[in-house]
Structure 1
Amino acid sequence: MKARAVLDVSKLPISGTGTASPAWWGTCAFMLIEGTGFSLAIAVYLYLMSLAPRWPIDAPVPDLNAGLILTAVLVLSVIPNMMVARWARQRQLGHVRVGLVVMSAAGIALICLRAFEFPALQVKWDDNAYGSIVWTILGLHTTHILTDLIDTIVLTCLMFTRHGDSPRRYGDVQDNALYWNFVVVTWLPLYLCIYWIPRL
């Protein structure tokens, strides 16, 4: 059998970003799955609330301070995150390195702030159905902050090596920034559920 070239792809880049990257599609699929999980958690919360004669069940409403501070920091973190994504598109290695260090510090700060949120719920996870669902929602979102923090720290380390200045790494930084925006956006309805619905 004789082989013949059909198409010369030698000049194509070895990796792509955005929709040209399989990692981007994987990140989007992951966000879809996780978003569905958050939606189910909210549905369970509302279902339990509809069954309870009084909500919260045998507990005071959560203290607003811890959740409000975390939410403010989370929303503000979108600014450096968007800058990192833009610098990665422009392949500005020095700026990307600084931006990833800032985002790593923001993630660590948010994990520390989240540690104050669990006591602020003023209910234990095993007290009743209300306690279980609010701890579950907070725990799910904490897992997402932690997941992105680990990814950001790994990317930060990689960007300070000889492998940092490559199209593939810049694409990874953009995907990481996309996922962080997802973590921020999904927190807003969860925040309303935990802190404001009990006050209605």
Structure 2
Amino acid sequence: MKQRIVLDVSKLPLHGFGAASVTWWGTLGFMLIEGTGFALVIAVYLYLMSLAPSWPLNAPPPDLLAGSVMTVALLASVVPNVLVSRWAQQQDLRKVRIGMVVMSVLGIVPLIIRVFEFPALKVKWDSNAYGSVIWTMLGLHTTHILTDLIDTVVLAVLMFSRHGDNRRRYGDVQDNAMYWNFVVAAWLPIYGCIYWLARI
């Protein structure tokens, strides 16, 4: 059997950015699945709220301070996150290294705030259905913050290694930045449910 070259693709890059990257599609798939999980827990919250004679059940509304500080911290982290993504697109190693260190620190801040947020709920997870659903909301979101923090720290270390300055790693940094934006966006409806719907 004779082989015939139809198209020479040897000069194409091995890795792409955005939709040209397989990992971008994988990250998008994770976000869709995890976003569905957040939507389901919010639907459970709204369902329980519609059945309850009063809401919250046998508990005062949560304190606003910790949740509001969390919201401000997460929204503020979007600015350096977008910059890191742009620097990765430009393949600027020095700026990406700085940005990844900054984002690693900014990933720790919400976990510290979250330590104060759970007691501010003023209800235990096993007190009733209300307590269970809001602890589940915060628990799910905390898991996502922690997951992205681990990914960010690993990528930051890689960017300071000999593996850092290559197209694939820059694509990974962009995917990580996209996921962090998802973590921030997912928090906003959860914040509204836990802290403001309880006050209606």
TM range (shorter): over 0.9
| Aligned AA (2:2) | K
SS at match of 2:132: helix
Question: Which residue number in structure 2 is paired with residue 6 of structure 1?
Answer: 6
Structure 2 residue 52 is matched with structure 1 residue 41: no
Following TM superposition, the consecutive aligned residue runs of length 4 or more in structure 1 with deviations greater than 3 angstroms are none
Distance 2:47 2:76 in 1: 32
Report the CA distance between 1:13 and its aligned residue: 0.6
Structure 2 residue 64 is matched with structure 1 residue 64: yes
Distance 1:4 1:92 in 2: 40
| Aligned AA (1:154) | V
Q: How does 1:69-84 map to 2 (within 5 A)?
A: 69-84=69-84
Q: How does 1:136-147 map to 2 (within 5 A)?
A: 136-147=136-147
Report the CA distance between 1:4 and its aligned residue: 1.6
Q: How does 1:146-161 map to 2 (within 5 A)?
A: 146-161=146-161
Question: Which residue number in structure 1 is paired with residue 171 of structure 2?
Answer: 171
Unpaired runs of 5+ residues, structure 2, are: none
Unpaired runs of 5+ residues, structure 1, are: none
| Aligned AA (1:179) | Y
Question: Which residue number in structure 2 is paired with residue 27 of structure 1?
Answer: 27
| Aligned AA (1:6) | V
Question: Which residue number in structure 2 is paired with residue 181 of structure 1?
Answer: 181
**CA-to-partner distance for each residue in 1:149-172, whole Å, 9 max, x for gaps?**
000000000000011000000000
Distance 1:86 1:16 in 2: 14
Distance 1:9 1:188 in 2: 44
CA RMSD of aligned residues (A): 0.5
Question: Which residue number in structure 2 is paired with residue 118 of structure 1?
Answer: 118
Distance 1:159 1:144 in 2: 22
Distance 2:124 2:76 in 1: 30
**CA-to-partner distance for each residue in 1:154-193, whole Å, 9 max, x for gaps?**
0000000011000000000000000000000110010000
| Aligned AA (2:190) | L
Structure 2 residue 94 is matched with structure 1 residue 99: no
Distance 2:155 2:175 in 1: 11
Question: Which residue number in structure 1 is paired with residue 192 of structure 2?
Answer: 192
| Aligned AA (2:47) | Y
Give the number of aligned pairs.
200
Report the CA distance between 1:5 and its aligned residue: 1.1
**CA-to-partner distance for each residue in 1:25-53, whole Å, 9 max, x for gaps?**
00111101111111101100000011110
Q: Normalising by structure 1, what TM-score?
A: 0.99
SS at match of 1:142: helix
Report the CA distance between 1:109 and its aligned residue: 1.1
